[in-house]
Amino acid sequence: MPMEARMDQKDRQIVRALQRDARMTNQDLAAEVNLSPSPCLRRVRNLEKSGAIRGYAAHVDEAAYGLPVTVFVRVSLARHTEEAVQQFEAAVARVDQVLECFVMTGVQDYLLRVVVADLPDYERFVRRRLHTIGGIASIDTSFVYGVVKRTSVLPVV
């Protein structure tokens, strides 16, 4: 979303409602945010067009899907040249098990959120996917054994 095209409070209400239930009808959305249907739909379309709403997705239970193990992987690169960074980022973008990759400050350069079926599957991921990228100085792994909170609904601003 361009910097000059900021969301107002009504847009944020619409976004939060859609984050809770993207399948709600425009009629229900309009009622929830206190707008008539036509202006509500116009605002939704403008949010989509501006890129503020990037798309809609189903939230899937990883365990039910067959990938019950979530792993946070911290990666440090051996070199920080433009070529090494681009190679790593392009390679990680192609790995299906990596759901998110963040560039970090601090000791590690990247934080990956990875899903796998089990421990042997994680070992295969490291040996066949991460190690083949090259240029990695270190890999530090933390396994998730419980989730306290998970949401995609942004806080009220």
Burial class (CB in 10 A: 0-12, 13-18, 19+), 98: buried
Is 155 inside any structural domain? no
* CA–CA gap between residue 15 and residue 9 (Å, rounded): 10
Burial class (CB in 10 A: 0-12, 13-18, 19+), 86: exposed
Residue 14 and residue 39 share a domain = yes
Residue 6: its pLDDT value, please?
A: 85
Residues 108, 113, 114: CA angle, nearest 5 degrees: 120
Is 57 inside any structural domain? no
Is 1 inside any structural domain? no
Structural domain count, the chain = 2
Is 22 inside any structural domain? yes
Domain containing residue 18: CATH number? 1.10.10.10
Is 153 inside any structural domain? no
Residue 2: its pLDDT value, please?
A: 45
Domain containing residue 123: CATH number? 3.30.70.920
The two structure tokens encoding residue 152: 């995609």
Residue 107 and residue 38 share a domain = no
Domain that holds residue 73: 62-143
Model-level pTM?
Answer: 0.88
Residue 75 and residue 121 share a domain = yes
Residue 67 and residue 111 share a domain = yes
Residue 132 and residue 101 share a domain = yes
Q: Could you list the mean pLDDT of each consecutive 10-residue stretch along the chain, which spans 157 residues?
A: 70 97 97 97 97 95 97 97 97 98 97 98 98 96 97 92
